[in-house]
Amino acid sequence: MSSHSISPQANLIEQYGSATVIGLGATGYSVARYLLARGLGVTVFDSRDVPPLANEFRREFPSVTTVFGAFNPEQIIADDLIVASPGVSLKEPLLREAKRNGAHIVGDIELFLQENTKPAIAITGSNGKSTVVTLVGKMCQDSGLETLVAGNIGKPALDALTDSQDFDVVVLELSSFQLETTYQVPAQAAAILNISADHMDRYDSMGDYVLAKARILRGAKRAVLPSHDEWLQQITNANIVTNFELEEPANDSDFGLTRKSNGRWLMKGQNKLMRVRDIPLIGLHNVKNVLSAFALVDFLALPLDGLISSVKSFDGLAHRMQTVSKKNGVRWVNDSKATNIGATSTALQSLEGGVVWIAGGQAKGADFGDLKHSISDNIKQLILIGEDADKIEGALRGLLPITRSLDLSAAVAEAANTAQRGDVVLFSPACASFDMFRDFEHRGNEFAACVSDVVGSAL
């Protein structure tokens, strides 16, 4: 057993002389740079024989010991601080053995938060994280605050500290994987945007997944939560709770919608914020995202006119309900970021008129029966591709017309033959991309290229 006695609340960097970094992706590289800059001895492990950043890392840090290939628990020193990358599960036998031997295991976000002295806004959720994080960052930046956007988006958080970057406020996108290795999140405002089944190949149950997400509220001064998410009804330990929902606000501190004589308005309590029709993003789910953004920056008391201007000039992010073509009366929508059922359900429910839907990929342990409530008569056809097409077809057979295509190019061609003027072709896979593509961005770019080849890219 380790003889090292540590205090999780105290600065870990001051309690250790050496550290072991598990995983040499972008996060692991950032962690190693940070630890070396703070004077710790560092050893880097990666289960891959040749991690993508291995050569670059060895050139920059030739004296650092790197151990690549199958993990061997005997090589881990329990008295080291162990910093695990989010892609490495805590169920990995190497980490389980280290923990049994008394090791303290954290992630890069824990190290960042222990040193950070600036106001933090932290955001998690099954869907919409990147959209809300980017919008909140834009609201802050447009209002004159030097803003760091980091975490699961943008630059690794620790790079800002290593490079002595100056900022007034930090906006963090945090995945459940990152939160697993974070002791607490002392944010001025922390949000869980929504909860739906995701990463069920990594978690034993939805309850475990929800508890991982809920770690974002540990230490937060304000919790920003949806009003009616069944998974979040009993979860909060923040001092202040602000709710947001697509309905009348329940009190003066909540955010919601109301209908006036001149249309629907986003509201804080009884105070009007902006008209729904002035939001350029597609779908009511994005109206909800905007409400959460207003709630998250509320403690900063930024000028309302500037916040409204930020929303009006925000066109959203690529691969998230992104219109890539409008040709012959058909709109083609790239929602490649929909890597889980919740995201695709939201996409399907946000569209009116005829829909030709393309889906499929790697299921990540998902139960596609959960999509049944999102199937309506306006979905004219489902075109399936990818590794787990059988699972989707099995769950939805009889609810709508289903066909199969060999690849994305063939699916786009079939959709072009099916869609009529006024229809939307929606590429919302409800699956991970790794069976056929490097990542969701590669998949989305390929979809846009296929559409351009088949129908043109006119907008």
Give the C-alpha separation, 287 to 342, whole Å: 16
Report the half-sphere exposure of 262 (CA within 13 A, side-chain side): 5
d(CA 22, CA 52): 14
- First-to-last alpha carbon distance for the chain, in angstroms, is 63
On whether the CB atoms of residues 103 and 78 are closer than 8 A, the answer is yes
Q: Is the dihedral of CA 312, 316, 321, 326 positive or negative?
A: positive
- Are β-strands 65-68 and 189-192 bridged in parallel, bridged antiparallel, or unpaired? unpaired
147, 169 Cβ separation under 8 angstroms: yes
Rounded CA gap, 185 and 237, in Å?
Answer: 12
- Are 33 and 112 spatial neighbours (Cβ–Cβ below 8 Å)? no
Q: At what angle do helices 440-454 and 408-418 cross, to 10 degrees?
A: 50
The position carrying tokens 């998949």 is 443
* Vertex 64 angle, CA 74 and 155, to 5°: 105
Active-site amino acid positions: 129, 152, 199
Q: Which residue has the tokens 């790239």?
A: 334
